[in-house]
Amino acid sequence: MSEQEQEKSKRRRRTASKNGSSAQPAEPTVVLDPGALELVDLEAADQELSATLPVSLDAEAVKLVDTATEFASSGTLPVALDSAAVQLVDADVAPQTSPAKLPATLDSAAVQLVDTAEESTPVAVRNISVGPAGASHTRIDSLLAALESEIRSMPTNDEERQSAIAEVVGLIRGSVTRWPKKVVETAMAALKSNINSDYLDADFWKGIGLVLRYQLDANVDSLRRRWRGDYAVDEFGLDYDILELARPLLTFMYTKYWRVEAIGVENVPENGRALLVCNHSGVLPWDGAMVGMALQQDHPTPRVLRNLHLSWFSSIPVLAPLLSRMGQVQALPENAERLLSRDELVGVFPEGLKGVGKLFKDRYKLARFGRGGFVKVAVKTGAPIIPVSIIGSEEIHPNLYNLKPLAKLIGFPYFPITPTFPLLGPLGFIPLPSKWYIVFGEPISTEEYGPDAAEDPLLVSQLSERIRSIIQETILEKLKTRPGVFLGE
C-alpha cells in the first residue's frame, strides 16, 4: 500500500471516530438460547420496573458490562445471566404486572441482556409471545413446587424412591412453561389426586410387579398348553378358558350396547336342573348368548347356560367347534337329557329356524313350537320349565326379505335381506343397538307327572301350548310399556 493510500485510510478512521458518538446506534438484536422464553432490559427500565418486576436477581451472580459503543453496530450480547442465579420468587405478583411496564419475565434456563447506548432505545425482542398464559404458568409452577415439597415430606422408609418421584415432579415443573395451559392443569389434577404415600412404598410396586408377572406367566403357560393339546373340556366340548376369553365382548354387548334388563332372574334356581324355553329371533343367534349373560351378570349365583343349537350350525367348519367350546350343544333329545341329568341349566328355542329367520313384519309373533320335544325331555327328567321372553332382539337385524333361491344355492336355511346386509358387506353383520328386556317367568313343575307321562301326547301338547302362550302374552305386555326400540338405559 502506498503512503497516499495509508493517509486516506487514517483520515477515514478519524472521521468514523468523530461521528461514532453522535450516530444513532442500530437497534440491538437479542439472541436467545433455546431455553429462554422472555427477557427485559433492566438498565433501560430500571426506575419503571423496580416496583413491579416479580423476580429477584442475585447481585453477585449478575454482572452487567457497559459496552454500548463497542456493540452498537454488532448487536451481539456480552452479558449472560447464570441460570442458577435467576429465580422466580413471587408468582402471585405476575398477574398484576402491567404488560406495558413489564414486557417480559426472566426464565431460569438462560437469559442474555444488552445494554444499549441510550436509555430511550428499546430492546428488540424476537420470537417472544407475552400474554396472560405466563401468569397462569407461574401459578401452576407454585402448585408443582408445593406438590414436590409435599412428596419430600411424606413419611417413608425408602428415601431414594421418594427423592426419585420428587425429582420427576421437579422436571415437570421445569418444563411447565412449554406446555399449553389445559395440559398443565390436567396433569396437575392427576398428580394431586393420585400421588399418596402408597406410591412411595416399595412393597406396593413389588405387589404390582408380581400381579403383572403372574398374569403374563399364566397367559404364556395357557398358550403353551394349548399348543401341546394339554387342556381340559367336558364331554360336550365346553372349554372354560374360551368362555372367559369371550366374556369381555359378551359383557360389553350385554351391559353397554344392548343395555339388557333382566327381570325375574331369581326364578332360575341357584342349583339343580332346569329347562329354559325362549322365543327366537334376530337372524343371528345373539339371543341365546344374552340369556346366558343374564345368568352370569344378574343371577345371585352365576351359572353357565347350555343352549341347544340347530343341527345345521354343526355343519359349519369354523362355527361348530367355537359353539362347542363355549358350551353350546347340538339340539338332540339325548343331549338335553344327559345335561339335565347332570343338574345343569339347558336353554331351548322351540321356534327353531322359523323364529330366527322370520320377517320383520312378523316380529314378536311366535311360530309354532314344533311337536313339543322339549316338554318330553323336561317331564322325563323331572326338570322345571322356565318360560323366557326376549324383547329387543327382533330389531337388531330387521329381516325385510328372505332370498330363498340364493339360500338354497349356497346351502343356507335362509338368506336375509336387511337394511345393512348385503348392502354394506361384512359391516351388515353389525347388529343395531336396540334396548333389550329378558323376562324370566315362574317355574312350571313337571315332577308330579312322572317319567312315563312323557309319552302322553295330549299332556305334551297342552304343556307346550301353555308355555308358548305365557311367552307370547309376556312379550305383548312388555311391548306396550317399553319407551321405544332404542330408548332406555
pLDDT in tens, 93-124: 333 443 333 333 334 333 343 333 334 343 33
How far is C-alpha 472 from the geometric centre of its chain's CA atoms? Answer: 40
**pLDDT over 50 (residue 394):** yes
Highest mean pLDDT out of 25-34, 280-289, 463-472: 463-472
CA 169 vs CA 63, 201, 376, 458: distances in Å: 32, 17, 72, 80
pLDDT range class, residue 5, cuts 50, 70, 90: low
- Of the ranges 7-11, 222-226, 370-374, 398-402, the best mean pLDDT one: 398-402
pTM recorded for the entire structure: 0.57
Report which of 119, 31, 20 is spatially closest to residue 73, judged by C-alpha positions: 20
Mean pLDDT of 283-296: 94
Is residue 62's pLDDT more than 70?
A: no
Given this model, what pLDDT does residue 110 score?
37
By C-alpha distance, which of 103, 141, 150 is closest to 122? 103
Average pLDDT over residues 301-306: 96
pLDDT, one tens digit per residue, over 63-78 is 333 433 443 344 443 3
- The average pLDDT across 190-210 equals 62
- If you write DSSP's letter for every residue of 171-228 in order, what string do you get? HHHHHGGGS-HHHHHHHHHHHHHH--GGGG-HHHHHHHHHHHHHHHHHHHHHHHHHHH
Tell me if 111 sits within 8 A of 36, measured CB to CB. Answer: yes
Angle at 275 between CA 319 and CA 248, to 5 degrees: 45
Residue of 82, 76, 77 lying closest to 63 (CA atoms): 82
Residue 49 pLDDT greater than 60, yes or no? no
Identity of residue 128: I
* Residue 386 pLDDT: 98
Give me the chain's average pLDDT, please.
Answer: 74
Place of cell 302374552: 473
Mean pLDDT: which of 52-61, 94-103, 184-193, 225-234 is highest? 225-234
Confidence of residue 371 (pLDDT cuts 50, 70, 90): confident
Residue 312: the pLDDT is 83
Delimit the domains of the chain by residue range.
25-131, 135-200, 240-396+431-481
Q: pLDDT tens, 116-173?
A: 333 434 333 333 333 444 555 566 667 667 776 777 776 666 666 667 666 666 666 6
Type of residue found at 291? V
The residue that leads in pLDDT, 265 or 318, is: 265
Instruction: Determine which of 1-10, 87-96, 211-220 has the lowest per-residue pLDDT on average.
Output: 87-96
Query: Looking at the predicted structure, is the pLDDT value of residue 345 above 70?
Result: yes
Question: Does the pLDDT at position 30 exceed 50?
Answer: no
Retrieve residue 20's grid coordinates: 461514532
Question: How confident is the model over 421-445, as pLDDT tens digits?
Answer: 999 999 999 999 999 999 999 999 9
Q: What is the mean pLDDT of residues 167-193?
A: 63
| pLDDT tier, 231 (very low <50, low <70, confident <90, very high otherwise) | confident
Average pLDDT over residues 27-47: 41
Mean pLDDT, residues 284-307 taken together: 95
State the average pLDDT over residues 26-37: 42
Q: Which amino acid is at 150?
A: E
Which value, to the nearest 10 degrees, does the dihedral of the CA atoms of residues 38, 44, 47, 48 take?
A: -50
| Integer angstrom CA distances of residue 334 from 190, 208, 339 | 59, 49, 9
pLDDT at 41: 42
pLDDT value, residue 241? 85
All cell numbers assigned to 158: 425408602
| Digit-coded pLDDT (tens) for 309-338 | 988 887 777 788 888 989 999 999 999 999
Least-confidence region, from 368-372, 435-439, 464-468, 471-475? 368-372
| pLDDT over 90, % of the chain | 43
Residue 264: partners with Cβ closer than 8 Å, 6 or more residues away: 439, 440, 441, 442
Phi, psi for 262 (deg, rounded to 5) = -90, 125
Closest among 476, 477, 440 to 261, alpha carbons compared: 440
Residue 73 has what pLDDT? 42
Residues in the chain, overall count: 489
**With bands split at pLDDT 50, 70 and 90, how would you rate the model's confidence at 473?**
very high
Find out if CATH 1.20.58.1290 is the number for domain 240-396+431-481: no
